[in-house]
């Protein structure tokens, strides 16, 4: 199993890479697991973000988080890509007075489309796993 996992990581690392400096990436994601969800489908959390690649491995982020049982909040932050497909991120949530640190992976689907899986720790004391889609807009 470990060998299969290692081969999968090597395969993902060798896939085509389409982001570069000055590109934009827009995306939307939804939490599918969060520690404060007591009942299935009781509440939901959605996020929409725009990332601007300042340099190839670093983005600045702005967006919005929408909760079904809380007020919306403006999001600002950044991402740092350790490799082409693995990143860490930090985000401030204005409106919820919270901050989150997370890490995730981006799997290329087709051309500039990405599937993202992200884990976030909120300083409020919660942990969430979210999944979503992102699209890279080349500005070259």
pLDDT class of 123 with cuts at 50, 70, 90: very high
Over residues 14-39, the pLDDT tens digits come to 333 446 688 999 999 998 888 877 77
| pTM: predicted TM-score of the whole model, two decimal places | 0.79
Length of the chain: 140
Question: pLDDT for 44-84, tens place per residue?
Answer: 889 999 999 999 899 999 999 998 887 889 999 999 999 98
| 61 beta partners | 51, 77
Is residue 51 within 8 Å of residue 74, measured between CB atoms? Answer: no
Q: 43: which 2 tokens?
A: 């509440």
Structure tokens at 74: 């403006």
Please, what are the domains in the chain?
Answer: 2-137 (2.40.160.20)
Helix, strand, coil shares, percent, the chain, to 5: 10, 60, 30
Residue-wise pLDDT for 73-97, tens only, equals 999 999 999 998 999 999 999 988 8
pLDDT number for residue 1: 44
Q: What is the pLDDT of residue 133?
A: 97
């Amino acid at each position: 199993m470990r060998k299969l996992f290692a081969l999968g990581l090597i395969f993902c690392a060798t896939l085509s890479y389409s982001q570069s400096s000055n590109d934009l990436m827009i995306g939307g994601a939804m939490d599918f697991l969060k520690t404060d969800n007591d009942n299935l489908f009781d509440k939901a959390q959605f996020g929409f973000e725009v990332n601007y690649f300042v340099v190839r491995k670093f983005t600045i982020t702005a967006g919005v988080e929408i909760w079904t049982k809380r007020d919306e909040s403006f999001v600002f932050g950044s991402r740092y890509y350790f490799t082409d497909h693995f990143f860490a991120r930090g985000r401030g949530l204005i409106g919820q007075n919270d901050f989150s640190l997370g890490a995730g992976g981006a799997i290329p689907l087709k051309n500039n489309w990405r599937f993202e899986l992200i884990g976030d720790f909120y300083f409020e004391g919660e942990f969430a796993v979210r999944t979503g889609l992102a699209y890279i807009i080349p500005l070259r």
